[in-house]
């Protein structure tokens, strides 16, 4: 599923080929498989993403829709997010240093 475009994934969700929860889990499995090598993420919010996917599945089942409803997305860390802390594009070495200080 990780190779699908947003439009393909959205179409699959609407056709009930898989759920938003299944899509989100597949994306996180892909992240877990490549993240040690790629190191693209400083902070992941899998629990929040799965809860939001479950809510999206409920809305889709009730006939509600929105362009990105059910589609997992990643935000650059400079985006302020009410459900997660942000590192505001700190250099990776500084993030690692701050983790060591804790």
| More confident: 85 or 60 | 60
User: Which residue in 62, 72, 57, 63 sits closest to 27, CA to CA?
Assistant: 72
Rounded Cα–Cα distance for residues 58 and 36 (Å) = 33
Cα diameter, the chain: 48
Q: CB of 75 within 8 A of CB of 65? A: no
pLDDT at 75: 78
Name the residue with higher pLDDT: 86 or 23. Answer: 23
Q: Give the residue, 15 or 88, on which the prediction is more confident.
A: 15
Report the pLDDT value the prediction gives residue 8, as an integer from 0 to 100: 97
The confidence score (pLDDT) of residue 70 equals: 97
The encoded tokens of residue 74 equal 């990643």
Residue 18 CA to residue 15 CA, distance in Å, equals: 8
Q: Distance of alpha carbon 56 from its chain centroid, rounded?
A: 13
- pLDDT, tens only, 25-78: 999 999 999 999 988 887 889 999 999 999 999 999 999 999 999 999 987 655
Q: Whole-model pTM?
A: 0.76
């Amino acid at each position: 599923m990780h190779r699908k475009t947003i439009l393909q994934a959205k179409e699959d969700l609407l056709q009930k080929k898989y759920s938003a929860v299944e899509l989100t889990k597949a994306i996180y499995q892909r992240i877990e498989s490549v993240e040690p090598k790629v190191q693209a993420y400083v902070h992941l919010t899998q629990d929040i993403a799965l809860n939001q996917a479950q809510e999206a599945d409920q809305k889709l089942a009730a006939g509600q829709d929105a362009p990105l409803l059910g589609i997992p997305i990643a935000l650059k860390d400079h985006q302020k997010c009410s459900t997660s802390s942000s590192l505001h594009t700190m250099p990776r070495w500084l993030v690692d240093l701050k983790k060591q200080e804790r």
